[in-house]
Chain A
């Protein structure tokens, strides 16, 4: 029998009624890069959170170096050498790089910081002063510090939860080389979570596959397994439906003319000369690594951000100087990227959240009719098959998929003319993604003009009629979907335009 540095047996974990992990087995060999593949919501992050002591599993046991761990918490896990890089950064923004790298009690390079920092800066191709505060760093640099933190904290087992999601293809390549060196030179045991086959193939030696909270394949040798094999494991028998794009396209519903938006503090153009139009029955996709102006663009079209220059027309009407409400009255819907916090108000009931778009339609003077709002919500629940048992409960008691369905339903029920959908499927499970895609296609067929902002190229290729690529606030390339090639789009996203 092989010796495993870490072994998790029969792990189960649920959040309320949602089963996140069901009887999962997972084991790691020393000095090897393991892949953990799965769709969004398959349970990969939950498993990692259990291994690093953040979530307490209801069932199962964890062995580290063959010793059973009964009381795993983050502090103890880091003592055992288990470190995790989360999807959101776990860095203290106002502290210096050095502080962030040395705060932990299991730190080993506190006294010899300078040399160690130089050594690993070289491995990670990083050139920043360790006195700099985290908030001054770029996203790519933060990710490198985040991984370096594990090394400084003497983690021999490094759990990396989608570290490439925020990186450009070039940075991803760099990371691949750094991780290879770490596993070879320092004998680090690494887990790379991803839902991208290409990365799993390039980075890892063995791969685990999760689906719907279960481990569906264990420790496959990456070089022996085919892409089709992995896709089948990951998606199960659900075939990704192909969308018919021969529907009728009508007149232009949304026109954006030379929109510019300047960050006044840093005097930096966040949006630079943006022009496009979307016709009725058309889905226009916007591809790009997040942080290249997509959020600002969506906010400007929806009327949230007002201090921009340029012109915006909805259904031929100039709305450039108008606010959120008047744009809503022209039947514009906005599904923001930030589901809970922008689209939905946390701490407020499901009922209240369900009427955020159309509440002025249910009012009678100052009075808000309870019966009308309840009917409104029931209609949403039935039309969009949302699971929301208690309308008075806080919105955050819903699962991510149901939250998004409520948000989408609220925005779509009035058959909007124009829809802005920003990252509509991020973090959702396969079935929820499928449902959301169908909703968007239904709207398209009903004659809505849809702007789809996404980082998920599969989604963009599946749904869009046309594709624009944003990079550093500019539209650097546009594709007709029939002539688009995923590699060219990827290059454009990284700013490479031939």
Chain B
């Protein structure tokens, strides 16, 4: 008699994450198609429309890539924190606080050089993101409070602060129905580099390289990996694990904060609830699906940016924009399921 039994594989294919992603994406498209069919929409027509409207022209391609910027930056922040085995569920809040910090600095300072002004505002965004994660970082390294819950809760706190600001102190009297702060001046708009593509995309490339270097090529990255692998080994090696975790968290928050700054200076041009449309959450999918690899985050970020644009434009033909959320989440679920088969092996067992 033969039995099927589960065995752990001794070595895992190096490209397993990539294959899992591909198959997961196919599964997700399949699920998306079923949902479209249920709604009496032709999946092929819908998807080709999505494709055309997201990458079919220079304009749409640059919107897609603009959309990718916050996903990539926040995703990179999540991936850096993951080196010390910490989760950042608070990217959404960090994006908002990044934008708030930019607006605060914009209101309260004067600069003669617009280039310097933009530069300082971008730094303010990064600092805002770091500030947002400061409390979770302190409570984590000093008291050991679970960072998943605290980073998540800060999202709601920052969102509350945003609503308070745009309805109260920063409320733009010209914006009647939609609560928002006043627009920032055109002198601090981020320039575009190609079509509608903002300079933010170059920053994004730069930060992808930076994150890649930090994680994979630097002493700090090594120390983070050891600290994340085993706190005891870190102590044994003379590595201050708490310090590494703290710095990683501030950097992680900063990346997301920078995303908020770029959104404000290149897309919305004012603080409103529209600064982020769930980018901080989607970034978690982007980071997790790539096995936390910066270069992968860049590519998948671009793909998901296009999906979001595609999703929002097909609303016009009566398809819910949530279809792209569902495709993104299903891709990751599909990838997780496929990853199982790369990690484990089902074998027949001879009993005789």
Contacts and interface: CB of A to CB of B under 8 A. Distances in A.
Interface of A: 15-17, 56-61, 68, 70-71, 302-304, 323-325, 328, 334, 336, 338, 341-349, 352, 355-357, 359-360, 363, 366-368, 370, 390, 392-393, 397
Nearest to B218: A366
Interface stretch (B89-97, B154-162, B235-243): B235-243
Contact of B233 (A59, A344, A367, A368): A344
Given A334-B236, A359-B222, A348 B229 contact: yes
Given A70-B351, A328-B238, A357-B237, A352 B222 contact: yes
B233 A343 contact: yes
B232 interface: yes
B217 A304 contact: no
Contacts of B186: none
Q: How large is the interface on B (under 10, 10 to 19, 20 to 34, 35 or more residues)?
A: 20 to 34
Interface stretch (B3-11, B24-32, B169-177): B3-11
A428 B171 CA distance: 71
A70 B3 contact: yes
Interface in B320-352: 347, 349-352
Contacts of A328: 238
B233 A342 contact: yes
B217 A368 contact: yes
A71 B5 CA distance: 10
Nearest to A338: B232
Contacts of B3: 70-71
Contacts of A392: 14
Nearest to A16: B10
Given A70-B1, A341-B232, A367-B219, 9 more contacts: A58-B349, A303-B238, A324-B235, A324-B236, A341-B230, A342-B230, A347-B230, A359-B237, A370-B217
Contacts of B11: 16, 390, 393, 397
A345 B225 contact: yes
B231 to A, nearest CB: 9
B219 to A, nearest CB: 5
Contacts of A346: 229-230
A367 B222 CA distance: 10
A325 B238 contact: yes
22 contacts: A15-B10, A56-B5, A58-B349, A59-B350, A70-B1, A70-B3, A71-B3, A324-B238, A325-B238, A341-B230, A342-B236, A344-B233, A345-B233, A345-B234, A348-B229, A355-B222, A356-B233, A359-B222, A359-B237, A360-B219, A363-B219, A367-B218
B209 to A, nearest CB: 14
Given A338-B232, A348-B226, A356-B237, A17 B10 contact: yes
B220 interface: yes
A440 to B, nearest CB: 20
Q: Chain A: interface secondary structure?
A: loop
A336 B351 contact: no
B226 A352 contact: yes
Nearest to B227: A345
A94 B220 CA distance: 38
Contacts of A343: 233, 236
Interface in B194-223: 217-222
Contacts of A349: 225
A344 B236 CA distance: 9
A368 B218 contact: yes
A336 B221 contact: no
Nearest to A366: B218
A324 B237 contact: yes
A418 to B, nearest CB: 16
Interface of B: 1, 3, 5, 7, 10-11, 14, 217-222, 225-226, 228-230, 232-238, 347, 349-352
B222 A368 contact: yes
A304 B230 contact: no
- Ranked nearest first, the 8 interchain pairs of A and B with the lowest CB-CB distance are A345-B229, A16-B10, A324-B238, A348-B229, A325-B238, A345-B233, A345-B230, A56-B5
B218, B219, B349 — which one has the most chain A CB atoms within 10 A of its CB? Answer: B219
Contacts of B7: 56
A71 B220 CA distance: 49
Contacts of B236: 302, 304, 324, 334, 336, 342-343, 356
Contact of B220 (A324, A360, A366): A366
B226 A345 contact: yes
A205 B314 CA distance: 80
A328 B239 CA distance: 12
Contacts of B217: 367-368, 370
Contacts of A352: 222, 225-226, 229
A15 B219 CA distance: 34
A347 B231 CA distance: 12
Contacts of A336: 236
Contact of B229 (A347, A359, A360, A368): A347
Contacts of B233: 341-345, 356
A368 B219 contact: yes
A433 B234 CA distance: 27
B230 A359 contact: no
Contacts of B219: 359-360, 363, 366-368
B11 to A, nearest CB: 6
A397 to B, nearest CB: 6
A369 B235 CA distance: 23
A397 B9 CA distance: 10
A435 B165 CA distance: 69
Nearest to A373: B222
Given A70-B3, A304-B236, A348 B10 contact: no
Contacts of B238: 303, 323-325, 328
Nearest to B230: A345
Nearest to A329: B238
B43 to A, nearest CB: 40
A368 B1 contact: no
Contacts of B347: 58
Contact of B235 (A304, A344, A393): A304
A168 B237 CA distance: 34
A352 to B, nearest CB: 6
A61 B351 CA distance: 6
A346 B229 CA distance: 6
Given A336-B236, A342-B232, A348 B225 contact: yes
Contacts of A324: 235-238
A58 B347 CA distance: 9
A56 B5 CA distance: 7
Nearest to A356: B237
